[in-house]
């Protein structure tokens, strides 16, 4: 399974006025969570804001290597998680220079479930972690990133990191683990998982006897 390496870059000096009163970076953007491989208006806006800090990006809406490197350098300069993902914390730091308020558990869980559910129907590809295809741990990795949580890359490591809870106490948003496989408990006896190359990403009834792990306390 491939794991993308981190780029190492030092942050350039900030622009004299990184938060102008009338910024020209406002576009028709939803401030979606974006990462390498993403494209569209949210990428354009992120590139524009990064250029306020003198990163010198081409504002083309394509999240490639240069944008990924700039995002990681910016995150490092703001003491954020350096993961190359422009999520809520990085958006707030780019636009307002602040970190967002701490979400409640319910809000974090909803972010995770909404993202995972939006991937249903995409293909399973071993070693993939989005945005167009996933393997099991790639889906959980990207889903929990929506709540500001960075999981290890491999399924066994993901489960080992978090406290196991009895099946009778499972909650929506818990990580589910089978031997060499993980998914997300979606409630009502359902799991969202990147199952295999035949089914792709699916939401279906819980099967087998997984263990449950409390990622979001």
Residue 50's contacts (CB-CB under 8 Å, 6 or more residues apart) are 57, 67, 70, 71, 74, 94
Which of the following is catalytic: 25, 45, 48, 136? 136
Which of the following is catalytic: 45, 48, 193, 213? 193
Examine the residue annotation and report whether 136 is marked as an active-site residue of this protein. Answer: yes
Count of H-run helices and E-run strands, the chain: 6, 6
H-type alpha helices, 146-208: 155-161
What is the CB neighbour count within 10 angstroms for residue 154?
16
73 exposed, middle or buried (CB, 10 Å; 0-12, 13-18, 19+)? Answer: buried
Which of the following is catalytic: 48, 177, 181, 213? 181
Examine the residue annotation and report whether 25 is marked as an active-site residue of this protein. Answer: no
SS3 190: strand
What is the CB neighbour count within 10 angstroms for residue 115?
21
The label of the residue with tokens 């970076």 reads 25
Examine the residue annotation and report whether 79 is marked as an active-site residue of this protein. Answer: no
Nearest Cα to Cα of residue 109 among 192, 43, 38: 192
Half-sphere exposure of 50 (CA within 13 A, CB side): 29
SS3 12: coil
Residues with a known catalytic role: 136, 181, 193
């Amino acid at each position: 399974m491939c794991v993308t390496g981190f780029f190492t870059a030092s942050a350039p000096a900030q622009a004299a006025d990184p938060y102008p009163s009338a910024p020209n970076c406002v576009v028709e953007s939803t401030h979606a969570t974006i990462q390498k491989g993403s494209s569209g208006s949210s990428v354009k806006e992120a590139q524009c804001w990064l250029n306020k800090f003198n990163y010198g990006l081409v504002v083309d809406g394509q999240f490639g290597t240069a944008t990924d490197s700039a995002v990681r350098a910016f995150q490092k300069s703001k003491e954020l998680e350096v993961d190359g993902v422009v999520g809520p914390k990085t958006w707030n730091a780019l636009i307002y220079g602040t970190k967002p308020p701490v979400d409640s558990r319910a809000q974090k869980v909803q972010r995770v479930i909404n993202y995972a559910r939006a991937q249903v129907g995409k293909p399973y590809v071993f070693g993939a972690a989005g945005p167009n295809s996933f393997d099991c741990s790639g889906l959980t990795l990207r889903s929990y990133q929506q709540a500001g949580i960075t999981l290890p890359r491999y399924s066994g490591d993901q489960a080992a990191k978090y406290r196991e809870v009895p099946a009778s106490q499972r909650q929506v948003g818990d990580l589910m683990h089978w031997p060499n496989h993980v998914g997300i408990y979606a409630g009502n006896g359902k799991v969202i998982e990147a199952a295999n190359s035949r089914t792709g990403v699916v939401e279906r009834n819980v099967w087998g006897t997984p263990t449950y792990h409390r990622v979001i306390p």
